[in-house]
Amino acid sequence: MTLLIVYHTRTGGSRQMAEAAAAAARAEIETVLKPAAEAGPDDLLEAAGYIFCAPENLAAISGVMKDFFDRCYYPVLGRIEGRPYAQMVCAGSDGSNAARQTARIAQGWRLREVQEALIVCTHAQSPEEILAEKVIPEAELGKCREIGQALGAGLEMGAF
Paired sense of beta strands 60-61 and 49-57, if any: antiparallel
Average pLDDT (98-109) is 98
Q: Are 7 and 36 in contact (CB under 8 A)?
A: yes
Residues with Cβ within 8 Å of residue 149, at least 6 apart in sequence = 24, 25, 27, 28
pLDDT single digits (tens) 39-89: 999 999 999 999 999 999 999 999 999 999 999 999 999 999 999 999 999
Average pLDDT (97-120) is 98
**C-alpha dihedral, 140 to 137 to 44 to 150, nearest 10°:** -30
Cα 58 → chain centroid: 18
Q: Are 30 and 3 in contact (CB under 8 A)?
A: yes
Q: What percent of the chain has pLDDT over 70?
A: 100
pLDDT single digits (tens) 120-145: 999 999 999 999 999 999 999 999 99
Bridge partners of 86, per DSSP, are: 51
d(CA 66, CA 73): 10
CATH code given to domain 2-157 = 3.40.50.360
Considering the entire predicted model, what is its pTM?
A: 0.97
Residue spans of the domains in the chain: they are: 2-157
Choose among 148, 120, 142: nearest CA to 11: 120
